[in-house]
Chains A and B, each alone.
Chain A
Amino acid sequence: MFGFILRRLIAAVVVLILTSFLTFTLFYKGPTNPAAALCQERGRCTAEKQEALETSMGFNDGLMTNYGRFVGGLFKDRTISQGATYTCDAPCLGISFRTKTEVSKDLLTYYPATLSLAIGGGLLYLLIGVPLGVLAARFRGTVFDKVLVGGALVIGSIPYYVFALTAWIFLTLQTSIFPTTQYVPITEDPTQWFLGLLLPWLILGITGAPTYARYARGQMLEAMGEDYIRSGKAKGLTQRKLLFKHSLRVAIVPIVTIFGLDFAALLSGTIFTESIFGINGIGQWTLTSLRAPTDFPILTATILIFAVFVILGNLVVDLLYAVLDPRVRLT
């Protein structure tokens, strides 16, 4: 078990190195030139001025040197020159080209909003999707089942941004059924935190849940047909126990797998949700960084965050498997 985790963590580090290196390569070999943008910001830009800026920002030092500086900055403070000189505390992810702030500190500022969104949305995926799927399996072939399966298909067919935008326009902007969507830190005002995120959570939940409902339904139907469920029935177990204990116990294992990956994606920022509902999380932060000229330090940070969560999500799922299924032994 310990060896398993250790090996997976080593593999994770390798993946992170590769991801960050690839990001660097794309940027340094690509067409964007932040020095040119910076140069224009500071009045009339001449070729000499731009040349001087490029040299001071280190773009002439080559890919490997710059990557080395970036990795070094993760462990000790560094100074970064972008026209002026900025200090960047370890772990340093660079200085934003646009705002001239430290990326690692911005990350901490924006992250709570994304985390709040992800936890609420992810919980609703499960809380709405799984029970509906279980009930659909229980009442297979009935009107309830058909409505649910059909509804899941309809919701799944609507593009997410259309769904979210429509909901926001009708439910918040025009009718005020839901309070204004915003992010207020939970430490500041828990009620406002809850109310501000209520609609985004619901929209995330409602659009994500159908996948889970369909999946849970399929897994439940498979589990309910197993011999050991018949054995349970022959023992005299109640229908409820057979359904929610014996069958769900088996059906939940593969659901955990897709949830691990979905949740990792939520944690890495929900660009549409944050943009539509005006929540300042890392999704929106990433989006702004993509506007020309590309804010490379921010982009690197968000790509790395995404990689970290996908790796962690997979690792947690694997560990959970061992807990959920006694037949699985991690070696």
Chain B
Amino acid sequence: MTATDTTPEARKASGTPLLEVKDLTVRFPTYDGLVQAVSDLSYTVEAGTTLGIVGESGSGKSVSSMAVLGLHDTRSAQISGSIKFNGQEIIGMSENDMRKLRGNEVAMVFQDPLTALHPFYSIGKQIIEGYRIHNNVSKKQARARAIEMLGLVGIPQPQTRVDDFPHQFSGGMRQRAMIAMSLVNNPDLIICDEPTTALDVTVQAQILDLLQKLQREFNSAIIMITHDLGVIAEIADEVLVMYGGRAVEYGVTREVLTRPEMPYTWGLLSSVPDVAGISDVLVPIPGTPPSLLNPPTGCSFHPRCTFVSQVPDNLCVTTLPVLERSSTGSSEHLSRCHLRDPAAIYETEIAPIVAPDRTESPA
């Protein structure tokens, strides 16, 4: 935040987004071969907005986001492409500069708050530590800040709970404490790696509300990694669907969720259980996630895709489709699929299953 050209005003004027990921590729060499966890991933996040990243386990959601914080061990990960934060290139940045960014301008909230908090240090100590790395303040000031943050995230009696250890907190409170720790330096970007997965549903909603409230208060951008489309629908402005390490659909949340164009996204939508019971069909995606060691040729989803026969010339098997605006889609919506008119297929074949209330009511 010290560099003159990276203030939010200057950035807005110059038109550069807060985070710009371009052609990000992350590979891990293993004894069995090279695992390509993320391939040519590009996305941008504007200040104050929320990007949701969805995909199944192993789709590269977490790996790509951890690259933004430089959390990969450089000895075991090969990273290429470009990640620009506030116009600053992160890939290849020195460890020391990277460290100053971490927790200060980019913060991370992890999935399981019990294992993500150090068991031997009190909650307060961990927050104070995070604050004092980046701010030259006394322990007393930092403690006051920690108590303030705990109050802000809704921990009752923060003055006394600040000295508690993580095991003395409930799951939801731990995640609140984790959020307090992440937000203590008012970061511009918060990466939330499945922050509600380990929590029960009522607490999930509270945590999401809290994140949104804090986002408005601090005008932070959020990257929300999840496999829960409900979370995406509630919180994300834009959504990026990942499959086999690639973006397969990317666009404004409303567009992607109401007019999805890629069979994998259809599959994701079909596998969401319907609590209201309007639809009693729960359709799992057949098959298993692709191997990242020997990824399928062409479109990596083709072995599991039921629409391969509708694409001529066996294109799905031979050629990787480009992430682009489909012929019928809007400009706010990119997808990676060979299907000519996915919108029509969705309306006739998929929508009756995933959104029967919406399709049946006009009829």
- List A residues at the B interface (Cβ < 8 Å): 141, 226-228, 230-239, 246, 249-250, 324-327
Contact = CB atoms under 8 A, between A and B. Distances in A.
A227 B108 CA distance: 12
Interface of B: 69, 71, 75, 95, 99-104, 107-108, 110, 112, 115-122, 129-130, 133-134, 165, 167, 178, 181
A235 B103 contact: yes
A73 B133 CA distance: 63
Contact of B165 (A141, A231, A327): A327
Contacts of B133: 235-238
Contacts, number: 71
A37 B174 CA distance: 73
Given A230-B110, A238-B99, 11 more contacts: A227-B116, A231-B117, A234-B71, A234-B102, A234-B103, A235-B130, A236-B103, A236-B133, A236-B134, A237-B133, A326-B119
B99 A236 contact: yes
A231 B118 contact: yes
B119 A228 contact: yes
Given A234-B107, A235-B129, A236-B103, A228 B165 contact: no
A238 to B, nearest CB: 6
A228 B117 contact: yes
A124 to B, nearest CB: 26
B108 to A, nearest CB: 4
A236 B99 CA distance: 5
Contacts of A325: 119-120
Contacts of A227: 110, 112, 115-116
Contacts of A249: 118, 120-121
B130 A327 contact: no
Contact of B108 (A141, A234, A250): A234
B104 A326 contact: no
Nearest to A237: B133
Given A227-B112, A239-B95, A326-B167, A234 B69 contact: yes
A226 B167 contact: no
Contacts of A228: 115-119
B3 to A, nearest CB: 17
A237 B75 CA distance: 19
Contact of A233 (B71, B119, B120, B167): B71
A232 B99 CA distance: 11
B88 to A, nearest CB: 15
Given A326-B119, A327-B119, A231 B99 contact: no
Contact of A230 (B75, B95, B116, B130): B116
Contacts of B117: 228, 231
A250 B120 CA distance: 8
A246 B116 CA distance: 12
A327 B118 CA distance: 12
B62 to A, nearest CB: 11
A232 B107 contact: no
B118 A236 contact: no
Contacts of B115: 226-228
A226 B117 CA distance: 10
Contacts of A233: 71, 102
A246 B110 CA distance: 18
B129 A237 contact: yes
Contacts of B101: 236
A234 B179 CA distance: 13
Contacts of B165: 326-327
